[in-house]
Amino acid sequence: MTKGQKFNKDVAKIVESFNPKPSTRLYTWEINTSLGKLDITVHDPEPRQKLFSVFMRFDNPAAAKAATDCNPFTGKWNIHLTDPESALEELKTRLNKYKDSPMDEKDLLKNITEAFESLSGDEIAEIHNNICKTKVEYQGDSQWKAIL
C-alpha cells in the first residue's frame, strides 16, 4: 500500500466516524456540521506528489464564512499538507470543532448577520437569487430592484 492509499484509507476512517451520507455532488461523502452540510473527498495522489489533500466544500458558504476561513464564494475548505499525519490531525480538528450540534437561535442569527455584513450588495443578491423565487438586482447605495 502506498502512502497515498494509506492516507486515503485513514481519511475514510475519520469521516466514517461522523456518520456521512453519500454526497450528491462530485464528492464522496456529505456530513452535517453545525455550519451546514460539508462535502468531503480525497483523490489518489500521484506517486511523485508530496502533497496530501482532503477536498471539502460547504453547501452554504455565507454561513460557514462567519466561522471558518473557507472560500467565501465557493465554500471550499481544503487541506493540502506535505505531512500525512498533520493533514489527518487537521481534518480531525476541523470536523470535531464543527460537529453537528444544534446552534441556539441567538448564535445562529449572530453568525448569519456577521456573514452578511461582510458581503457586497452583488454577493447578497446572488445568494438571494439562488434560494428565492423572486430575483433582485443590487443598484448600489443599499438600493434593490426586483426583476420580474
Contact predicate 66/112, CB 8 Å = yes
Quote the CA–CA distance of 52 and 2 in Å, as a whole number. 12
| pLDDT value, residue 59 | 93
Contact predicate 38/119, CB 8 Å = no
| pLDDT value, residue 104 | 59
Within the chain, which residues score under 50 in pLDDT?
A: none
| pLDDT value, residue 144 | 67
| pLDDT value, residue 102 | 56
13: helix, coil or strand? Answer: helix
Residue found by looking up cell 465554500 in the block: 75
| pLDDT value, residue 137 | 76
78: helix, coil or strand? Answer: coil
Question: 40: which 3 cell numbers?
Answer: 468531503
Of 1, 4, 7, the closest CA to residue 47 belongs to 4
